Amino acid sequence: MPPSPGSWPPSTAMPWTPRSRLPGRTRPHRRRHHRHLLSAVTHAPTVTLAQREVGAKTNETAAFRPLLEPLDLTGTVVTFDALHSVKDQVRWLVQEKKAHYIAVIKGNQPTASA
């Protein structure tokens, strides 16, 4: 079992598996305020690679590129839900970041194709 992420020295690179996912979560904060966080995590072992707060006046789609920009995604498979299945985001992921993806496509997107 790998050590917990908090126990690794900051200078040590985090292990990177060929798959990562983008779960968006709202976490309780002091004084009953809620912080909405978007995270990039590996599937196994589960390690948070990057995390970004999603502002109250925006949504996760705006945080997608800034979250993934500093990560080396070359050759990795990134999974995400329908909210991030935006053509420009997917094109950027494939062309600029050289990543592969598995995306949820809803029925209201009849022109989306593999």
Structure confidence by residue, pLDDT tens digits, 46-83: 999 999 988 888 888 889 999 999 999 999 999 988 88
pTM, entire model: 0.65
What average pLDDT does the segment 31-46 reach?
82
The pairing of beta strand 24-28 with beta strand 48-54: unpaired
Quick one: which of 54, 106, 47, 105 has its CA closest to 71? 47
- Position 1 pLDDT exceeds 80: no
The pLDDT value recorded for residue 11 is 39
**21 pLDDT tier (thresholds 50, 70, 90):** low
**98 pLDDT tier (thresholds 50, 70, 90):** very high
Q: How far apart are CA 96 and CA 18, in angstroms?
A: 17
Which of the two residues, 45 and 7, has the higher pLDDT score? 45
The pLDDT value recorded for residue 78 is 93
On average, the pLDDT of the chain sits at: 77
